[in-house]
Structure 1
């Protein structure tokens, strides 16, 4: 009998911890942070010890991981996206294609760069639908931002082929897939630029923080200038072929960098554990009738901290979710904000309303923009349909065989009664 109707639940213990990153905090983080304090040098560009900067070390690590010539440490994942867009020359009059399922920062970064986001459908990978991407291209399109959502790599072969066909720039949003790969290539190192986040919900954290990587010297030089309005004054080596222009202050502190370094040193170990746990669950679920597993473009590159599957319709998914919770397995759906509102385009109020920081001058109304993009809450029906019938379960690197088995048994039990 199902637990909701008086039966014994499959699991009575708490489910996995909320965070992957901070659960790993140990003596290494303390050592790296204390080293910064002992040096009494928390500002990256302080003239003494530039070569010993923790930010430089973190940039080198991500450059090597993604096989990128250049890396730029910044204070947030959003800052990385904005810096990459400005670095790529994206600005007023341009359109940038983004998926309808991603953290709102992806689209907000486009607006901050003074360009216009064009929102397109996802498919059963819960990442950008390549066909929808191609269909949305206009003469104003300059770039696309594929988002490797919840650790799942996008269909990068198709996206890159389309982008190259139309001479578009590709800026990968790797905020939710640090450490993932696609057909053997690290995510972030496939497109023209890659952007990472080190916020606490991510696989690697420095509290806040981000990283942009690229093999394009112009993108790196312009992004460096934009990330720091005083970049030319710090005495660092920055390509002189790019004229200076006004920027922001997106600098990463040495404290953030030290924490990010300690965390990043164990990323492969953590992801290997996640992959092992997800693989065992997925294999067991393949034989269960009534559920459809999320399609993963490259299972070997999946970061594997989320398990997602589909039910036939919204109502079935909502009921299945409630029964699964009663069996001791918390899960997320569009019905319980488990697919968080801030990640679904229909809830991006200021974007749908074309409301900018200025009431009189926005990326949509500036004289440079000749397009006419339209938004509505129902503009991506397939995205809403997929999310409406999807269920997501959080996984963790410290999961035991018992934990994995509990998840499988609870799903099997509920599916058997639906």
Structure 2
């Protein structure tokens, strides 16, 4: 009997901790951060040894990890996206294609760069649909930002082929997929630039922080200038000579860099444990006829901190979710979490309303923009349908074999009940 109907729940123990990153804190993080305090140098560009700073070490690590020639540490994932966009020469008059399922920062970064975001459908990978991307290209399209959502790799072969054919810049949003790969290539290192976030909700953290990687010296040089309005005054040689221009202050502090450096050394071990746990659960439910697992373009490259499956419709998804929670497995229907989820385009209010910080000279009405992009809350029906039918369960690196088995047992128990109910309802209609 189901727990909601008076039966014994499959699981009564607490579920996983809310964060992956901070559960890994140990003496290594303490040592790295205390090392900065002992040096009494918390600003990267101070005194001698700039090339040996903690931020420089973090950049060197990500150049190696992503097989990139250049890396730039910044203070947030959003800052990384903005710096990459400006670094690529994107600005007023340009359109940038983004998926309808990503954190609002992806679209916000485009606006901060003074370009116009164009929102397109996702598919059953819950990442950008390559066909929708191609259809949305206009004469004003300059770039695309594929987002590796919830650690799932985008279909990068298709996206890169379209972008190369149409001469578009590809900026990977890898904020939620640090440590992932696609067909053996590290995520973030496939497009023209890759952007990472080290915010606490991510796989590894420095509290806040971000990073841009690229093989383009011009993009790197421009991103460096934009991330620090005085960078050329610190005695740092740019990757290539460019004219200076006004920038921001997106610098990463040495404390952030030290914490990010300590955490980044643990990515591969954390991801290996996540993949092992997810694989156990997937193998235990793959044969169930009533649910359909999220399609993952490269299961071996999946970061694997989220298990997603689809029900036939939204009503069944909500019912399944409620019954599963009663069995002791916390979960959520992605499109019905009881709050305005900023990962779903319908909740990007200032984007859909074309609202800037002031009403004058927004990216949409500036003289440079000749396009006519339109938004409405029903513009991506497939995205809303998929998210409305999707159930997500958080995977954590601390899951034991017993924990995974609890998930399998609970899903199978609820699926069996719903199949029985459907059969009974069908019999009554005959």
After TM superposition, the score normalised by the length of structure 2 is 0.96
Quick one: distance in 1 between partners of 2:77 and 2:25? 21
1:150 CA drift (Å)? 0.2
**Equivalent position of 2:132 in the other structure:** 132
Spell out, residue by residue over 1:193-213, the C-alpha distance to the aligned partner (whole angstroms, 9 max, x if none). Answer: 000000000001000000000
RMSD (Å), alpha carbons: 0.9
Partner deviation per Cα, 1:179-236 (whole Å, 9 max, x = no partner): 0000000000000000000000000100000000000000000000000000111001
Distance 1:254 1:416 in 2: 54
1:400 aligns with 2:423: no
Counterpart Cα distance in 2 of 1:240 and 1:304: 38
Runs of 4+ that moved beyond 3 A: none
Q: Tell me which residue corresponds to 1:210.
A: 210
Aligned length: 418
CA distance in 2, matches of 1:100, 1:331: 22
1: distance between equivalents of 2:129 and 2:335?
23
Q: Counterparts in 2 of 1:320-399, with a 5 A limit?
A: 320-334=320-334, 336-337=336-337, 341-399=341-399
Q: Give the aligned partner of residue 6 of structure 1.
A: 6
Distance 1:80 1:57 in 2: 17
Alignment of 1:142-181 (within 5 A): 142-181=142-181
Is contact 2:217–2:240 with CA below 8 Å preserved after alignment? no
Compared with structure 1, are the counterparts of its residues 152 and 335 closer, same or farther at alpha carbon in structure 2 (3 Å cutoff)? Answer: closer
1:69 is matched with: 69
SS in 2 for 1:343: coil
1:302 corresponds to which residue?
302
Q: Is the 8 A contact 1:332 1:339 kept in 2?
A: no
Deviation for aligned residue 1:338: 7.9
Matches within 5 A, 1:11-90: 11-90=11-90
C-alpha distance after superposition, 1:221-259 (max 9, x if no partner): 000000000011100111452100000000000000000
Aligned partners of 2:340, 2:232: CA distance in 1, in Å?
Answer: 40
The runs of 5 or more residues in structure 1 that have no matched partner are: none
- The residue number in structure 2 matching 1:226 is 226
Partners of 2:394 and 2:340 lie apart in 1 by 13
Q: Distance in 1 between matches of 2:264 and 2:338?
A: 27
Residue of structure 2 in register with 1:248 after alignment: 248
Cα displacement (A) at 1:47: 2.3
CA shift in 2, pair 1:256/1:340, >3 Å? farther
